[in-house]
């Protein structure tokens, strides 16, 4: 397709390739033939698509009748009892909203709840951020992190001169799909080193160094998903210098601010390093993890621009992206976030609960590492403690994962990623037994 083709043409072309790709063909055993019950349907030609590789783990888990089954695929926090958690501070904020009889259910503006947008920008960039003080930031409320990425991707496809976005290898499974269908051309840069189960910093710098000038680069702000491997502050600074020298445009995905280390400021350092140099960048925020607002779909997209005038123009075009997509965002979740961020007491209570969640996940890392060491499990498992955030990239291969599912009823993605939040002191021994058996019995 020619470089002069429109973003809409590119999206349609990408969708056609996506639908015709062999990877999207029916799973084994699913016939595309028309059955007698299909006769007369205008959709008889539709084949059954495979389950999402991440969400499908939960589908398989739910079908398993075993009393010892364990779901480590879900990207949601669980208590020590294995239950979903609604933060106390969220319940308090919701009660305030319910008790406020002046609240109505009118549409929000296209860009969302103004107070939510303002407070979200302060949370990620810092209240004293020069970019905010000089009105160089435009923030729009979106449908959690996924929606923020999608809106940002389509804005770039329409208005940015470079249509290539580089994403880390590996990355969250939805990233390539979101950006491809937004109209961008997706390429990868090296990130994870299987040999060290750490960061392939040399490969990362080489790949970004050879990227075309002006390319967009997706960066995980903290707690890289799926690996749990983050650059050090010194490495972030080297990445910043390289990207600015090549005029590469940073697009941060911030899904875990405060949830990774327990500190909101520490988990935002990578973003703030880039904003401090006066350059431009995009940031997608999600409140799914750090406020437990998974189903409320609360997120924000911020674009830091060179001037306030440019920021105003950018916001006007973001409205044109959002309006035909979902018109305007929902009000309830954003109102909860705004209530917590504006009230000092609620904010302080949130930070305490947030740190408690992060600390429990860190504790699970240590317990699992200790359990594997106690069993004499072959290999170096220190990466379990070194990695950060909700997920651990265990290093288990697909055969070992399948073995653990069959023999121990433990469910995770085929790449060996496990959610540490899905573990508890009670289930750590079961997982350690399964890992020990898998690495000693399955190559």
Q: What is the pLDDT of residues 109-124, one digit of tens each?
A: 999 999 999 999 999 9
| 398 and 318 within one domain | no
- Taking only the tens place, the pLDDT of each residue in 351-396 is 999 999 999 999 999 999 999 999 999 999 999 999 999 999 999 9
Q: Last residue of a domain, which of 325, 342, 359? A: 342
List the helix and strand counts (H, then E) for the chain: 16, 13
CATH of the domain at 258: 3.40.640.10
Does 232 map to a domain?
A: yes
Task: Tally the domains of the chain.
Answer: 3
Residue 135 falls in which region: left (phi positive, over 0), alpha (psi -120 to 50) or beta: left
Q: Are residues 334 and 302 in the same domain?
A: yes
- Select from 289, 318, 342 the last residue of a domain: 342
64 in the same domain as 46: no
- Active-site choice (289, 350, 381, 433): 289
All residues at 6 or more sequence positions from 6 whose CB lies less than 8 Å from its CB, including other chains: none
Closest of 379, 353, 386 to residue 231, by C-alpha: 386
CA 210 to CA 10: how far, in whole Å?
24
172 is catalytic: yes
Q: Once rounded to an integer, what is the mean pLDDT over residues 230-247? A: 98
Residue-level pLDDT at 75: 84
Q: Is residue 91 part of a domain?
A: no
The answer to whether 289 is a known catalytic residue is yes
The last residue of a domain, from among 292, 323, 342: 342
**Same-domain pairing of 289 and 380:** no
CA distance 415 to 396: 7
* Residue 92, domain member (yes or no): no
The helix or strand, by DSSP H or E, that contains position 425, with its residue range, turns out to be none
151 and 297 assigned to the same domain: yes
Residue 23 lies in a domain: yes
154 and 279 both lie in a single domain: yes
The reported pLDDT for the residue numbered 25 is: 41
Give per-residue burial for 70-88: e unless 16+ CB within 10 Å, then b.
bbbbbbbbbeeeeeebebe
Q: Catalytic pick from 172, 236, 350, 381?
A: 172
- Both 3 and 132 in a single domain? no
Catalytic, out of 200, 253, 267, 433:
253
Tens digits of per-residue pLDDT, 17-71? 544 444 444 444 444 444 556 678 999 999 999 888 777 888 889 999 999 999 9
In whole angstroms, what is the distance from residue 60 CA to residue 56 CA? 6
Tens of pLDDT along 134-157?
999 999 999 999 999 999 999 999
Domain that residue 4 falls in: 1-50
Establish if 95 belongs to a structural domain: no
Residues 159 and 291 in one domain: yes
pLDDT at 406 over 50: yes
Assign 4 a pLDDT band (cuts: 50, 70, 90): low
Q: Is residue 338 part of a domain?
A: yes
Identify whether 96 is part of a domain. no
Looking at the structure, do residues 290 and 408 belong to the same domain, yes or no? no
Cα 290 off chain centre by? 12
**Same domain membership, residue 298 and residue 153:** yes
Same domain, 170 and 281: yes
Q: Is residue 143 part of a domain?
A: yes
């Amino acid at each position: 397709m020619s470089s002069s083709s429109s973003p809409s043409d590119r999206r349609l072309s990408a969708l056609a390739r996506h639908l015709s790709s062999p990877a999207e063909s029916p799973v084994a055993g699913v016939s595309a033939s028309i059955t007698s019950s299909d006769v007369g349907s205008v959709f008889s030609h539709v084949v059954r698509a495979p389950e999402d590789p991440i969400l499908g783990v939960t589908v398989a888990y739910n079908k398993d009748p075993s009393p010892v089954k364990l779901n480590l695929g879900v990207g949601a926090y669980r208590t020590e009892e294995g239950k979903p958690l609604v933060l106390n501070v969220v319940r308090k904020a919701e009660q305030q909203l319910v008790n406020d009889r002046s609240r109505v259910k009118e549409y929000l503006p296209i860009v969302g709840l103004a107070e939510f947008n303002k407070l979200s920008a302060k949370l990620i960039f810092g209240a004293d951020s020069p970019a905010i003080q000089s009105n160089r930031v435009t923030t729009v409320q979106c449908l959690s992190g996924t929606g923020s990425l999608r809106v940002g991707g389509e804005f770039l496809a329409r208005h940015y001169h470079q249509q290539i976005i580089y994403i880390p290898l590996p990355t969250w499974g939805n990233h390539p799909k979101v950006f491809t269908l937004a109209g961008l051309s997706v390429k990868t840069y090296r990130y994870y080193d299987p040999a060290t189960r750490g960061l392939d910093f040399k490969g990362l710098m080489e790949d970004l160094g050879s990227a075309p000038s002006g390319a967009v680069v997706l960066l995980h702000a903290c707690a890289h998903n799926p690996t749990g491997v983050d650059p050090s502050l010194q490495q972030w600074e080297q990445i910043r210098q390289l990207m600015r020298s090549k005029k590469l445009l940073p697009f941060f995905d911030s899904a875990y601010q405060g949830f990774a280390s327990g500190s909101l400021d520490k988990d935002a350092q990578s973003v703030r390093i880039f904003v401090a140099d006066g350059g431009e960048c995009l940031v997608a925020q999600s409140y799914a993890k750090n406020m437990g607002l998974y189903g409320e779909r609360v997120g924000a997209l911020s674009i830091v621009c060179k001037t306030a005038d440019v920021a105003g123009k950018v916001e006007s075009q973001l409205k044109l992206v959002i309006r035909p997509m979902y018109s305007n965002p929902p009000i309830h979740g954003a109102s909860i976030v705004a209530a917590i961020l504006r009230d000092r007491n609620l904010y302080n209570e949130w930070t305490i609960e947030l740190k408690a969640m992060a600390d429990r996940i860190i504790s699970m890392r240590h317990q699992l590492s200790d359990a594997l060491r106690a069993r004499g499990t072959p290999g170096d498992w220190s990466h379990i403690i070194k990695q950060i955030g909700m997920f651990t990239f265990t290093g288990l291969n697909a055969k070992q994962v399948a073995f653990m599912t069959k023999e121990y009823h433990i469910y995770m993605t085929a790449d060996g990623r496990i959610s540490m939040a899905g573990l508890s002191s009670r289930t750590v021994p079961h997982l350690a037994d399964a890992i020990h058996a898998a690495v000693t019995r399955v190559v």
